[in-house]
């Protein structure tokens, strides 16, 4: 009885190496795995990216088959292997680090080798039997790392951003629901952490909802417009060397059909191969959304501060005990976590920005870092938005009595009296209220600056929270 060999030999430019016979990756992936142990995050941990790599390879195989460059047997085996990876199989065979030298060659070869070895099995061959079907000659036919890899990054980001859009849409709806729920609760607005003028708690939450909705609409528009222009077919530097003149159009047609996105050829493949500006734009958009959510989180922490000695206009849902020494303390842990995610994303954007600037001539060798930071930022933000929505916003309740008490004690309502008693009188009343501890209403009444009826009308909530013509004296 013959037993299968425990190892197989593969060779490349640098020599021969032994690999465990069960491994789907080959010698070039092995070298990359040995060279780059940096982030501790391998490409297989980013399923959208791996699916996108397989989609690109599938599209290329289809194009090559249509052009008569790839026979039916090899085409069938390669596309069957691609379909398996797209469905989630063999992702554990994608083992190279997200941060790598070589402008993504290690990632591209990891995909070429895994797909080739799985395709060989579909042909009834052993892994490593590259005379029958080769990672470079067949799986990478009509391609270079420099067009296949950035195209896969773009398709993967198109896949990865969809959960982010969904989570932002749900968060905006949750905030809008809270705005409606809190619509009749009068409270003090604040600027520079000082009393300003009255508003409703509903207006405050609607502003949050509209902020999220605005970023959501920008993402829905800009991300597809930015990412759908691909350089597939440009090969090494964008000139299309070693590719059939018909290949680009066919490959992009196949890519659109397989991915479900309206991908199109970039207008200048040489520019598209070297320029990383689209990724900078996308990262900036993600960062802006994260920072806006961080600002909302700051507001939630302030508005819920206390519970006895702070603002305490709202209550955040209690999620865990807040102290190992102070009994009864509950911290705003969900907004705090959202803050930290925003800081991480801002750092990712800074690293990506430097990497995007670092390209020289016809290529940017720092593209692996750009991909790593973008995928991490989008995934982090998607998770953080869901957390903020479900674990915090949905459970927020208001303290109407506290809101009302702060309004009536505030000096800020004197602003509403400006058109009726004049700025000088209003300033004097404000200072007197501050010095004596008496309320603005009491002082205006005591000096008979306005009739009680007009004063009551001016200070009606609906008259203080929106523009209106001056009331009759």
Task: Say whether 198 sits in a helix, a strand or coil.
Answer: strand
Q: Is residue 292 part of a domain?
A: yes
Q: Is residue 193 part of a domain?
A: no
pLDDT at position 473 is 56
pLDDT at position 287 is 97
pLDDT at position 462 is 72
Q: Based on the domain organization, do 129 and 155 belong to the same domain?
A: no
Q: Based on the domain organization, do 430 and 364 belong to the same domain?
A: no
pLDDT in tens, 133-155: 999 999 999 999 999 999 999 99
Domain termination site, one of 398, 429, 452: 398
Task: Say whether 222 sits in a helix, a strand or coil.
Answer: helix
Q: Based on the domain organization, do 321 and 437 belong to the same domain?
A: no
Q: What DSSP letter does each residue of 67-87 carry, written as one string?
A: TTSS-HHHHHHHHHHHHHHHT
pLDDT along the chain (473 residues), means of 10: 72 89 93 91 96 98 98 98 98 96 94 98 95 96 96 97 97 98 94 91 97 96 94 95 96 98 96 94 96 98 93 93 78 95 98 95 94 97 97 97 90 81 86 86 84 82 73 61
Q: Is residue 15 part of a domain?
A: yes
Place of tokens 């270079």: 144
Q: Is residue 257 part of a domain?
A: no
Helix residue ranges per DSSP H, 359-399: 367-391
Q: Is residue 470 part of a domain?
A: no
Q: Based on the domain organization, do 365 and 418 belong to the same domain?
A: no
pLDDT at position 472 is 62
Domain that holds residue 374: 151-186+199-225+268-398
Torsion of CA 425, 427, 432, 435, to 10 degrees: -170
Q: Based on the domain organization, do 73 and 162 belong to the same domain?
A: no
Q: Based on the domain organization, do 22 and 136 belong to the same domain?
A: yes
The CATH number given to whatever domain includes residue 171 is 1.20.200.10
Domain termination site, one of 398, 418, 433: 398
CA pair distance 456, 454, nearest whole angstrom: 5
Domain termination site, one of 371, 398, 425: 398
The CATH number given to whatever domain includes residue 104 is 1.10.275.10
Q: Based on the domain organization, do 219 and 104 belong to the same domain?
A: no
C-alpha dist (Å) from residue 316 to 19, 48, 55, 385, 391: 55, 34, 44, 16, 9
C-alpha dist (Å) from residue 414 to 214, 417, 447: 34, 5, 14
Q: Based on the domain organization, do 97 and 177 belong to the same domain?
A: no
Q: Is residue 240 part of a domain?
A: no
The CATH number given to whatever domain includes residue 439 is 1.10.40
Place of tokens 């596309």: 79
| Strand intervals (E) in 79-160 | none
Other beta carbons less than 10 A from residue 61's beta carbon: 28
Q: What are phi and psi of 17, to 5 degrees?
A: -135, 155
Place of tokens 């008490």: 405
Q: Is residue 252 part of a domain?
A: no
Q: Based on the domain organization, do 390 and 425 belong to the same domain?
A: no
- The catalytic residues are 323
pTM of the model: 0.90
Q: Based on the domain organization, do 387 and 438 belong to the same domain?
A: no
Q: Based on the domain organization, do 204 and 318 belong to the same domain?
A: yes
Compute the residue count for the chain: 473
Q: Based on the domain organization, do 342 and 454 belong to the same domain?
A: no
What total of structural domains would you count in the chain?
A: 3
pLDDT in tens, 304-318: 999 889 999 999 999
How, if at all, do strands 194-200 and 397-398 pair? unpaired
Q: Is residue 381 part of a domain?
A: yes
pLDDT at position 208 is 97
């Amino acid at each position: 009885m013959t037993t299968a060999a425990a190892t197989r030999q593969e060779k490349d430019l640098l020599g021969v190496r032994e690999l465990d016979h069960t491994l789907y990756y080959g010698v070039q992936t092995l070298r990359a795995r040995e060279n780059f142990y940096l982030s501790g995050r391998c490409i297989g941990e980013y399923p959208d990216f791996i699916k996108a790599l397989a989609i690109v390879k599938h599209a290329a195989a289809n194009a090559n088959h249509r052009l008569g460059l790839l026979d039916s047997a090899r085409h069938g085996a390669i596309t069957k292997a691609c379909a398996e990876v797209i469905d989630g199989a063999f992702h554990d065979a994608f083992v190279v680090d997200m941060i790598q030298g070589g402008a993504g060659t290690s990632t591209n070869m990891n995909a070429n080798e895994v797909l080739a070895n799985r395709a060989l099995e579909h042909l009834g061959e052993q892994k490593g039997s590259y005379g029958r079907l080769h990672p470079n000659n067949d799986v990478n036919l009509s391609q270079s790392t420099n067009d296949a890899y950035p195209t896969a990054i773009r398709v993967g980001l198109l896949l990865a951003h969809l959960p982010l859009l969904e989570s932002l849409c749900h968060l905006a709806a949750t905030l809008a629901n809270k705005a409606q729920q809190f619509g009749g609760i009068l409270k003090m607005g604040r600027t520079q952490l000082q009393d300003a003028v009255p508003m409703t708690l509903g207006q405050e939450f609607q502003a949050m909802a509209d902020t999220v909705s605005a970023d959501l609409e920008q993402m829905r528009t800009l991300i597809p417009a930015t990412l759908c222009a691909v350089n597939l077919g440009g090969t090494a530097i964008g000139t299309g060397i070693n590719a059939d003149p018909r290949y680009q159009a066919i490959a992009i047609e196949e890519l659109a059909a397989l991915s479900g996105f309206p991908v199109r050829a970039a207008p200048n493949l040489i520019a598209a191969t070297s320029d990383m500006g689209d990724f900078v734009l996308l990262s900036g958009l993600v960062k802006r959304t994260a920072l806006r959510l961080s600002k909302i989180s700051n507001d939630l922490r302030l508005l819920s501060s206390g519970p006895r000695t702070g603002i305490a206009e709202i209550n955040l849902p209690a999620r865990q005990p807040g102290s190992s020494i102070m009994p009864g303390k509950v911290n705003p842990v969900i907004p705090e976590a959202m803050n930290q995610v925003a800081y991480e994303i801002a750092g990712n954007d800074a690293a990506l920005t430097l990497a995007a600037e670092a390209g020289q001539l016809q290529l940017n060798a720092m593209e692996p870092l750009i991909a790593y930071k973008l995928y991490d930022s989008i995934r982090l933000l998607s998770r953080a938005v869901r957390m903020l929505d479900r674990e915090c916003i949905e459970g927020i309740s208001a303290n109407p009595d506290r809101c009302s008490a702060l309004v009536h004690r505030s000096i800020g309502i004197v602003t509403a009296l400006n058109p009726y008693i004049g700025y000088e009188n209003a300033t004097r009343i404000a200072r007197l209220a501050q010095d004596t501890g008496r309320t603005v209403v009491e002082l205006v009444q005591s000096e008979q600056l306005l009739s009680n009826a007009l004063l009551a009308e001016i200070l009606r909530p609906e008259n203080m929270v929106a523009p209106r013509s001056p009331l009759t004296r």
